[in-house]
Structure 1
Amino acid sequence: MSIPVETFFLDPKAQGTLQAQIQQMIAAGILSGRFRRGEKLPSTRKLAQHLGVSRITVTLAYTELVANDYLSSRGRSGYFVSETAPEPMPDRPEMPDGDPVDWSHAIGQRFISNFAIERPLDWSKYRYPFIYGQTDPTLFDHAHWRLCALRALGQKDFGAMTADYYDQDDPQLIEFILRHSLPRRGIHARPSEVLLTLGAQNALWLTVQVLLTPQRLAAIENPCYPALRDILTQSHCRLAPVDVDQDGLLPDAIPDDSDVIFTTPSHQCPTSATMPVARRRRLLQRARDMGALIVEDDYEFEMSFLSPASPALKSLDADGRVIYVGSFSKSLFPGLRLGYLVGSEPFIREARALRASVLRHPPGHIQRTAAYFLSLGHYDAQIRRMSKVLAERRAVMEQAVRDYGLDIAGARSFGGSSLWMRAPEGTDMGRVAKELMQTGVLFEAGERFFNGPDAPKNFFRLAYSSIPADRIPEGIRRIAEALR
């Protein structure tokens, strides 16, 4: 039996090449049971005419499906659904009304945050996206990243791409971090003191699991990185929020019985305050006196375009009590999910064992691609390009903020990619943010960054990393108008 050509149509919203779309269309028909084993497909010429594509495109799609055993070719007779094609997926059984599983009882631990990030997936379609942590495609060096990815797919790097490292990492990437990334921060380490992670958040999770117990006390900044607070809450450790000022975390306000201190000294999250060197030394002495460890999230240090970056807290540490968290996800693109931990060897051994039991290691192909991108100088070139553009955008935003009378709460900063803002007392910026979404303006309300039930609602964060400079003034005007 022949399958009518009218059965086939291309979805205008589908992604991928025409060849890939045709392959997916036919494979989906076989897996759904619409196309059965032994049935004949339309000729390549007939299907090409029907779909309005070239005949070679259809031929290539058929050939690939033959190679994958979805189709078979019978000499001059044409193409047929293979007798050994995958079995159609069984219909999903009808579920009874209601859920027979009592999930409120079945779930032993809860991980959903009360302040999850509310960011539309189509944020780039909004006219005024003051959204933090997203990639501006005009700033990313896609061409060189693609070339590095292709190089990492080559036969020479086949082992790096396909091997199970178990608990180890790509030696080329580790070498670059040791010889280039860390020395720029004044840090010197051995391979046994570095561990790759799936971004900074994964590094923080590993650190919390290794260092903290329900009996131990963690000191965190207030306001802080919300994902860190969620991780600490899930660990059931005791939590001590410590207020920050224009220079970041206050060392003397840290409780005496703190076991681990979490800080973002380069650009405090979310205020962007940079901790002066004198305070960094005071923090180290405070931790030494208490016998506490410090976890330094070197957040956005690459974006110090207003003044040179201060030395990392880890570089001032003579005791090995600082654990350093670095990431390429913010400076390259967030979907990369590639970061690293630097710490004393006993700590890294435990973190490595935990990582191996959960996810083994970050994908080998991603590690090798990043190693090429970094070692060939493309990363440094991108940082210079981003810094120049972000400095220009920041100048435009600061001028617009002054013109429309808005209040910057985190004024002292060495750069970064956002401004920490304060609205008049009593303003609910969460409500304002939802209203302005309807007019194409996106930004983050600040309530979720604070600890405790009485978190102020009048703060908000405006990022300039994802919005063109020429749209910033109008977006700021709309925010100011809404606040009035």
Structure 2
Amino acid sequence: MNATVNPKLPPTTPLWAQLFALDDHTGLPLQSRLRLKVVQVILDGRLAAGAALPSSRDLAQALGLSRNTVTAVYQQLVDEGYLESRPRSGVFVNAGALPASIVSADKFIDPFKGDGAGAGAPPQWDARVLRSLREQPTLSKPAQWRKFPYPFVYGTHDAQLFPTEDFRECCVRSLARSQLPNWTPDFETDDMPDLVEQIRIRLLPKRGVFARPEEILVTVGAQHALYLVAEALFDRGTRIGFEEPGYPHARNAFSLRTSEMIGIPVDDEGLVVDALPALDYVFVTPSHQSPTTRTLSLERRQWLLRKAALQDFVVIEDDYEAENLYAGEPTPALKSLDKTGRVIYIGSLSKSLAPAMRLGYIVASKELISELRVLRHAMVRHPSAFLQHAYALFLSLGHHDSHARRVNQVLRQRMDAVMQALARHIPEFEATVPNGGASVWVKTPDWLDGAALSLRARAHGVLIEPGDVFFAQPPRPCPYFRLRLSSIDVAQIELGILALRDAVRAMAGER
């Protein structure tokens, strides 16, 4: 715990410089960085109520800033109640700005622990947590993954591709006074009508899907959609057919509600429909199967829907990376072939733009969507109405389509580069060029474990996604891994594959 500053003993200039040292990684303007630091110092309790701040001249000198910058920040914080100005005395911390638990300069009470009197043993959370995912395998990467020169992993937007000006324009328009009534009220269980309409008339028809507004629900990303479906429809005995290998985030979300996860093999045509046993639901990524990138053939799509009707199960379709197509026309979505309402369709709005934006949607029968609306309301009420409004503008102005075209062109270049580099430098690895998407599924020689390779590759500056996390029952060793292309520049790809080759050679030398 940082000690608070005694208001009667103001620090010397070097100590002020230490206390108010500005963070240089926030991306904020200088004045905003100083404001952020002063507020942090106050709310952390490092300056007590009534503590005197240095004069604007002294703080400017200590931090190497202009006096005008400091004066402007002080005045702003006085106006907001963090500071108070006393005539001929200076600027002081306003007592009302501190957390109630900070009662003086020399006494700090942790509101969670109190003063120690009568404290009992903490709860045993291991015994209380009923549904845990901590031990489940999932996709992960080092905390400092951006520092690796060759990140073949999923995790960020592409700064060179992100449509900064276009998206900023839409955000600014949404913030116009005339637009505030459209998104500032509480929507309760509803969605932004403009966004639902754009999904309905611009996105879904491209996948051959035609839906009414009451059949569409906006979610906080596709992952939220998967969780909502599991929460509403599954119990411990629900039988789920799941691609093996398959999408680990969906598997983990489903496993919180059912233990009956049945692996269904995939091959070059996607899910092996003939291998389906008796089921209640089947989850499938037909556009670009995760992780193998295979596309479910039209014949199998038709047979899957026929079996769903004959055996009375429901298909959950995650239209994973459907927009990322390098050439030709996309295969129709399963939902476009659905005549009986047996397909729950899940899509993402933000994956190709910036994953952290978290916007997705579900298309299903109005009866199910009505139930999911109430369930969503209990969880998050609704996704950000501002973001929905801004993205509706982004879609209506054609920015989404032009951005998707640019992304596909760049991903095709990266795909060509990685396939050529693999063939040239590690020919013993097997990989097939997908018809779209942002990843390559790689098979190594049988002796080489993908998870072990991923750890060794880190020492060479390379991040890859080990294949075992995609399997419910991975082979040992598991000779697979995935290369993602959304976070690495094309100029770094061959160098990254060369570094990966060095890691492979080092492991071969240890056999």
The answer to whether structure 1 residue 11 and structure 2 residue 11 are counterparts is no
For 1:151, which of 173, 181, 206 is the aligned residue? 173
The answer to whether structure 1 residue 342 and structure 2 residue 350 are counterparts is no
Q: Deviations over 1:21-80 (max 9, x none)?
A: 322332333334443334443332332232211222212211221122111234565423
Unaligned runs of 5+ in 2: 1-7, 103-107, 506-511
Q: Secondary structure at the match of 2:54?
A: coil
Shift of 1:406: 3.8
Q: Answer yes or no: is the 8 Å Cα contact 2:433–2:440 preserved in 1.
A: no
The answer to whether structure 1 residue 25 and structure 2 residue 47 are counterparts is no
The within-5 A match list for 1:181-192 is 181-192=203-214
- Alignment partners' CA distance in 2, 1:330 and 1:19: 34
- RMSD, aligned α-carbons: 2.3
Shift of 1:453: 5.9
- Alignment partners' CA distance in 2, 1:2 and 1:56: 26
- Alignment partners' CA distance in 1, 2:291 and 2:253: 17
1:41 alignment partner AA:
L
Q: 1:222–1:99: structure 2 CA closer, same or farther, 3 Å change rule?
A: farther
Corresponding residue for residue 178 of structure 1: 200
Q: 1:452–1:21: structure 2 CA closer, same or farther, 3 Å change rule?
A: same
The answer to whether structure 1 residue 361 and structure 2 residue 372 are counterparts is no
Corresponding residue for residue 383 of structure 1: 404
In terms of mean alpha carbon deviation, does 430-439 or 292-301 score higher? 430-439
For 2:98, which of 72, 76, 86 is the aligned residue? 86
Q: 1:220–1:179: structure 2 CA closer, same or farther, 3 Å change rule?
A: same
Shift of 1:469: 1.4
Q: Answer yes or no: is the 8 Å Cα contact 1:222–1:244 preserved in 2.
A: yes
Q: Answer yes or no: is the 8 Å Cα contact 1:296–1:325 preserved in 2.
A: yes
Corresponding residue for residue 494 of structure 2: 473
- Alignment partners' CA distance in 2, 1:407 and 1:286: 39
Unaligned runs of 5+ in 1: none
Q: Secondary structure at the match of 1:330?
A: coil
- Alignment partners' CA distance in 2, 1:248 and 1:213: 27
Q: Secondary structure at the match of 1:227?
A: helix
2:388 alignment partner AA:
Q
Q: 1:344–1:38: structure 2 CA closer, same or farther, 3 Å change rule?
A: same
Corresponding residue for residue 116 of structure 1: 138
For 2:416, which of 385, 391, 395 is the aligned residue? 395
- Alignment partners' CA distance in 2, 1:449 and 1:142: 34
* TM-score, scaled to structure 2: 0.89
The answer to whether structure 1 residue 72 and structure 2 residue 84 are counterparts is yes
Corresponding residue for residue 57 of structure 1: 69
Corresponding residue for residue 317 of structure 2: 296
In terms of mean alpha carbon deviation, does 291-300 or 90-99 score higher? 90-99
- Alignment partners' CA distance in 1, 2:49 and 2:116: 30
Corresponding residue for residue 225 of structure 1: 247
Alignment length (residue pairs): 483
- Alignment partners' CA distance in 2, 1:303 and 1:58: 49
- Alignment partners' CA distance in 1, 2:182 and 2:69: 33
Shift of 1:221: 0.5
- Alignment partners' CA distance in 2, 1:281 and 1:33: 64
Corresponding residue for residue 455 of structure 2: 434
Shift of 1:412: 5.7
Corresponding residue for residue 214 of structure 1: 236
Shift of 1:409: 5.1
Q: 1:198–1:74: structure 2 CA closer, same or farther, 3 Å change rule?
A: same
Q: Answer yes or no: is the 8 Å Cα contact 2:460–2:503 preserved in 1.
A: no
Q: Secondary structure at the match of 1:220?
A: strand
Q: Deviations over 1:354-382 (max 9, x none)?
A: 11111111111111121122211221111
- Alignment partners' CA distance in 2, 1:120 and 1:261: 32
